[in-house]
Homo-oligomer: A and B are copies of this chain.
Amino acid sequence: MANWSDWVWLNGRLVRGVEASVSVLDRSFLLGDGLFETMRVVRRRVLHLEAHLARLHRGTQLFRISIGWDDQQLALALQQVLETNALEEAALRLTVSRGVGPAGPMPDPTARATVIIAARPFAGYPPEWFEQGLRATLSRIIKNERSPLCRVKSTSYAEHVLARLEAVERKTDEALMLNTQGHLVEGSSSNLFAVIEGRLITPELSSGCLPGITRAILLDLAKDSGIKVVEASLLPASVSSWQEAFLTSSLMGIAPLVEVEGEGIGTERRPEGRGVPGPITRMLDERYLAALAMQR
């Protein structure tokens, strides 16, 4: 974790990362009994903080965890972490665990939540990265669209870890997961968009995808740009008809998807077979970056 900055906010105190620790009996460590948010910071401003905190609260309500800090205190804590680490452009990770013990599934109602904020320098990916585009495999991990965990971002994230491991072992960048109906859901840490017959399609929330903050922004951005946008089922068999595709996440923003299971996306292909970022993807990325540049 060489890339994480020195100072970490831990339950109200700023401590050095090397000293920052939680009990071995912390429930997020023992049972994945916690929630998290990953946020991008541009010029010391946490992007879409309200949306991230709203999703965090949906999670803590589902889990019946009382954070113990209100939104204003959390916003202040995030700023403290940025200031103490002298970060202007950064990635922030806010983790809320139910706190210490017991080891069985039944929580101790008196447990005090463990709240941690860590940061690292992050100024977005370089333009070459966008031009290169990402290659994806189809994961063997089947997501359960009926699990309440789909709607929140919990630290019980092992299925996503296993999906990413599959991608890495198959020498690609991301793994797309299917749900129990055989529909595409999302990547291991990204939402999925495809352009078919000029329409922008992204799996509906009932597919089991995370209600991504950047996903929601892209839906608005596309509508404002006059693109026809549909939240609908997306089948893996449709890949050959994708004119373009991209992935979104709070850190990546928009990442062109140029190959799925060895099949190049779009009509324009590179010699090695992968596609190139398409015109709608480029236009949306430009508008997305322009919006970022306008952040105070």
Contact = CB atoms under 8 A, between A and B. Distances in A.
Given A24-B8, A107-B165, A149 B144 contact: no
B158 A1 contact: no
A205 B101 CA distance: 29
Task: Give the number of copies in the complex.
Answer: 2
A164 B3 contact: no
B1 A100 contact: yes
Interface in A81-115: 93, 95, 97, 100-107
Contact of A32 (B20, B21, B148, B156): B156
B168 A95 contact: no
B22 A24 contact: yes
Contacts of A149: 158-159, 162
A189 B157 contact: no
Interface residues of A, number: 64
Contacts of A44: none
A22 B33 contact: no
Interface string A1-34: 1011000101000000100111111111111111
A118 B103 CA distance: 10
Contacts of A28: 28-30, 32
12 contacts: A1-B23, A8-B24, A17-B24, A21-B21, A21-B24, A30-B95, A31-B160, A33-B157, A63-B165, A140-B148, A147-B159, A149-B162
